[in-house]
Structure 1
Amino acid sequence: MNTIFKVMILLLTYSVFGQNTYLHCGTIIDTKSGTTLSEKTVVVSGKKIIAIENGYVDANALEDIIIDLKDKTVMPGLIDMHVHLESETSPKAYLETFTKNDADVAFTSAEIAKRTLMAGFTTVRDLGGSGVNVALRDAIAKGKVPGPRIFTAEKAIATTGGHADPTNGMRKDLMGDPGPADGVINSVEDARKAVRQRYKNGADLIKITSTGGVLSVAKNGQNAQFTQEEVNQIVETAKEYGMVVAAHAHGNEGMKRAVLAGVQTIEHGSFMDEEVAALMKQNYTYLVPTLSAGRYVQEKAKIPNYYPAVILPKITSTMAVLDKTIAMVIREGVPIAFGTDAGVFPHGENAKEFLYMVEAGWSPIFSLQSATITNAKLLDMETDLGQIKVGYLADIIAVNANPTQDISTMQNVVFVMKEGDIYKK
């Protein structure tokens, strides 16, 4: 069935059944071409865009709705490839591991999901929690709670003592010996089992912590934490189960092993060198820079006792090289996907990442494309998301100014539609 015939079917169906919404758009960001369009009417019926007309078209039926966005800039719903919806930064965050029940986490995550949606992010990739993120994904998909469309890694996979070992920093009688079911591995066999457990638990993709991390209660934030054979097995098993792998990585060796194994994305990439940058280009591996996280932790590290003492030197050493690394990444043309690490900083402030990207040297339109067409492609949703286009899902947002001229406007989203439902107007 060709595209024109599909559109005719949509138009015929929705002219007979249901209510249509007409969005009178003063300016539209065409994310595919990187240009802007003026004075268009986007017609939405059900969950999809069924027409885009020149000028401001009147509604066809009394029950149809007209939304006036003539003085706004309209674009596709945004996609954040790195969030943690189960938690949020706080001086009490480490203590809450022991004081919060799953029910507490669930109610917190539902509020966070709504806040994220209101900020214009209609799709996110949740890269690791306790498993509540799977239930949250399903609840949102069923319309039980408002929030973005979620692709979740369920629980991240770590090594014993590595970043994402859930018992790091605990006293010895509480540590135990977590294994593959808990997302902790120490062999190729463990790696295979841990991936299969994530699949069984409902994960959409796999997240590994291929190096140490800045905010884990452990001394080293850069060391490689999987053998090459282990990460190879994780990627191979994930592929067999129809999943891709995202790799948290700050240090260079762990990044290199992950890229050689075939992960889809490198998260953070703080200490990347030119060799790894070249490998990423050769293997079409995307960097998710998460600049917002670095900016936030650098600021909060100045507050006494906000973070455990063991973390402070890691923040200092990482931020000392980050600007230089990002300059190299831009110079070398490493593929970039938009992601923020929300949860490390307050949820709902995800759009600050656009400003930080532009300050680092990427163009405003590049940053917008990274959060729309690029991320839609990486999620295998490029025929449904990332563009305002006939036949695509009606994930549509609006801001007060043209972000290609003033990127800060992205921090004030004034209209949010997801799958044809209006959440903010």
Structure 2
Amino acid sequence: MLLRSIALLLALASSPAALAATSYVRAGSLVDPEKSRVLADQLVTIRDGRVVAVEPWRGAPMDGNVEDWSRYQVLPGLIDMHVHLTDWNQSSNVAEPLLHSAMEIAYVGARNARQTLLAGFTSVHDVGCFRAFANVELRNAINRGDVIGPRVSAVGAYITVEGGGGEVTGLSPDVKLPDDMRAGVYKDENDVRLKVAYLFQHGADSIKIIATGAVLAEGTEPGQLEMTEGEIRAAVETASRRGGWVTAHAHGADGIKTAIRAGVRGIEHASLIDEEGIAMAKAQGTYLSMDIYNGDYIAEYGAREGWPADIMRKNEETTEAQRVGFRKAVKAGARIAYGTDAGVFPHGLNARQFKYMVANGMTPMQAIRSATTVSAAMLGWSGDVGAVAPGRYADLIAVEGDALADISVLERVVKVMKGGEVVK
């Protein structure tokens, strides 16, 4: 009997439930974006990398380590819905993407991922790279634990018309791009279906289509429609059959409305959106990801570094127009996700956009919700990220000060936890 009792105790002790390590975080204050409130002096209980309880602090528990963040305001890990981790940063040289091997880009991506995570962004939507599937492989490396970085949803490559906003342009006509830089270039509607299927077959989580021209692609115009409604719908239908979804790069008003009619989940940039487009986005529940900090960075840094005049002109034509559209979209109650276009500006500076959002009509809580609950919903990850709540990953950040009084404190994150592991 004694031996059987000892054997039972040993079996219980070695069971997964018994082996599950429990840890804790004491939060001086905790921002709850789901209920738009701030809770004072909270204890977050973590097991197997996920939150199992959030309750008032009543003293230190005895069964696990307590991270003492009582000096700080704690928030859910932030989400950036528009990053480019696996490309060289934007430069004055239109041929820059050709100067870096796939191997070099892998290392660059690892560096960018680390900078992004340490800045407090624990999840990102990587919406494209010139070297096809570089972001998919970076996601896989992070998931394996080979490198540290945020949780990544990756698109694999751009779906773009030949010579369009998703291509490397501005080169001599006799320069031939390598095949891995043209994986998503299509010829017609049927080819769109084939390219989208190809991306999913090789690990894409979602699809990014280039519906209009781009500010940063020479020879294309932001207001010019580059994909037909039928082509965009073909991408949406194919993605849906694969369990995925589509977001559309679209600056121009016509491109925005065409993409919404075709059923995309999100619109990137939305620089020249009009009131009809805002109303359509609200009615359809389409997310707007508007990078309203980016224009100032391009204007300042691009001028200093001698970026092409064509790019600087287009940036000037879209920057203020985008902010006007943003203010109207906020007022109308449209869904606005937090997307910055990091990679045009240096990774790790993602939080600079918060103060722009507040200056252009959002309350600080709305801006925080944009980078947490709203972006989590756009990703389809609401059950895993976007809040510090039971069942979610223990992705937490801490700041000194009060983000609801001064949103810029989010630019100075002092603590980062991902999946229950402190990384900063």
State the Cα distance separating 1:90 from its structure 2 match: 4.6
Shift of the 246–408 alpha-carbon distance from structure 1 to 2, 3 Å rule, reads same
Question: What amino acid does structure 2 have at the position aligned with 1:382?
Answer: S
Shift of 1:50: 2.0
The amino acid across from 2:215 in the alignment is V
Q: Spell out, residue by residue over 1:305-354, the C-alpha distance to the aligned partner (whole angstroms, 9 max, x if none).
A: 2x123212211211242332222222322211111110011110111111
Once the 2 structures are TM-superposed, how far is the Cα of residue 173 of structure 1 from its aligned partner?
1.6
Q: Deviations over 1:174-206 (max 9, x none)?
A: 247979962112311111111011112211000
> Is 1:140 equivalent to 2:147 in the alignment?
no
Q: Aligned match of 1:59 in 48, 58, 61?
A: 61
TM-score normalised by length of structure 2:
0.92
Distance 1:293-1:175 versus aligned 2 partners, 3 A rule:
same
Residue of structure 1 equivalent to 2:5? none
Q: After the TM superposition, which residues 301-312 of structure 1 pair with which residues of structure 2 at under 5 Å, given as runs?
A: 301-303=302-304, 305=306, 307-312=307-312
> Residue type of the partner of 1:266?
I
Contact 2:90–2:343 under 8 Å retained in 1: no
Equivalent-residue separation in structure 2 for 1:180 and 1:98 (angstroms):
9
Q: Secondary structure at the match of 1:174?
A: coil
Residue in structure 1 matched with residue 278 of structure 2 by the alignment: 277
State the alpha-carbon separation in 1 of the partners of residues 331 and 381 from structure 2. 29
In structure 2, what is the equivalent of residue 356 of structure 1? 356
Question: Which residue number in structure 2 is paired with residue 393 of structure 1?
Answer: 393
Aligned-residue offset at 1:93:
5.5
Equivalent residues of 1:79, 1:122 under 8 A apart: yes
Q: Secondary structure at the match of 2:260?
A: helix
Q: Is the 8 A contact 1:181 1:194 kept in 2?
A: no
Corresponding residue pairs, total? 409
Residues 95 and 171 in structure 2, CA contact (< 8 A), matched pair in contact too: no
Match of 2:185 in 1: 184
Q: Deviations over 1:70-103 (max 9, x none)?
A: 1100111111111000124353563432221001
Contact 1:180-1:191 within 8 A present in 2 as well: no
What's the counterpart of residue 28 of structure 1? 30
State the secondary structure of the residue aligned to 1:157.
Answer: strand
Q: Displacement, 1:411? A: 0.4
CA RMSD across the alignment:
2.0
Secondary structure of the corresponding residue to residue 390 of structure 1 = coil
Listed as ranges, the matches of 1:21-420 within 5 Å are 21-61=23-63, 64-91=64-91, 94-129=94-129, 130=131, 131-166=133-168, 168-175=169-176, 182-303=183-304, 305=306, 307-420=307-420
Residue 41 of structure 2 contacts residue 57 of structure 2 at CA under 8 Å; is this kept in 1? yes
Within 2, Cα distance between the matches of 1:138 and 1:248?
A: 25
What SS does the corresponding residue of 2:293 show, helix, strand or coil?
Answer: helix
The structural deviation recorded for 1:56 is: 4.5
**Cα distance between partner residues in 1 of 2:17 and 2:54:** 15
Inter-partner Cα distance in structure 1 for 2:320 and 2:20? 57
Q: 1:417 to 1:114 in 2, by over 3 A?
A: same
In terms of mean alpha carbon deviation, does 28-37 or 211-220 score higher? Answer: 211-220
Matched-pair contact (CA < 8 Å) for 2:331–2:361:
no
The Cα shift of 1:256 comes to 1.0
Rounded Cα–Cα distance in structure 2 between residues aligned with 1:198 and 1:14: 37
Distance 2:49 2:173 in 1: 52
Q: Distance in 1 between matches of 2:15 and 2:48?
A: 10
- Per the alignment, residue 4 of structure 1 pairs with none
Contact 1:181 1:197 in 2 (8 A): no
C-alpha contact 1:207 1:247 (8 A) present in aligned 2: yes
- Runs of 5+ consecutive residues of structure 2 not aligned to the other structure: 1-13
**Retained in 1: the 8 A contact 2:208–2:248?**
yes
Farther off after superposition, 215-224 or 171-180: 171-180
* SS, match of residue 55 in structure 2: strand
The answer to whether the 8 Å contact 1:49/1:391 transfers is: yes
Q: CA deviation at 1:297?
A: 1.0
Asked if the contact 1:178/1:184 (under 8 Å) is kept, the reply is no
Tell me how far apart the structure 1 counterparts of residues 281 and 84 of structure 2 sit (CA, whole Å): 25
Structure 1: give runs of 5+ residues left out of the alignment. Answer: 1-11
In the alignment, the residues of structure 2 paired with residue 56 and residue 145 of structure 1 have an alpha-carbon distance, to the nearest angstrom, of 37
- Conserved in 1, the CA contact under 8 Å of 2:256 and 2:270? yes
Letter in 2 for 1:30: D
Instruction: Spell out, residue by residue over 1:336-391, the C-alpha distance to the aligned partner (whole angstroms, 9 max, x if none).
Output: 11111100111101111111100111000001011111111122221221111122
Cα 1:266/1:98, change in 2 over 3 Å: same
Mark the CA change 1:178 to 1:44 in structure 2 (over 3 Å): closer, same or farther. closer
What one-letter code is carried by the residue in structure 2 that aligns with 1:282?
Answer: A
Distance 1:237 1:24, change over 3 A: same
Q: Distance in 2 between matches of 1:94 and 1:22?
A: 49
Letter aligned with residue 293 of structure 1:
N
Shift of 1:163: 0.2
Write the distance in 1 (CA, Å) between the matches of 2:413 and 2:178: 46
- Percent sequence identity over aligned pairs: 36
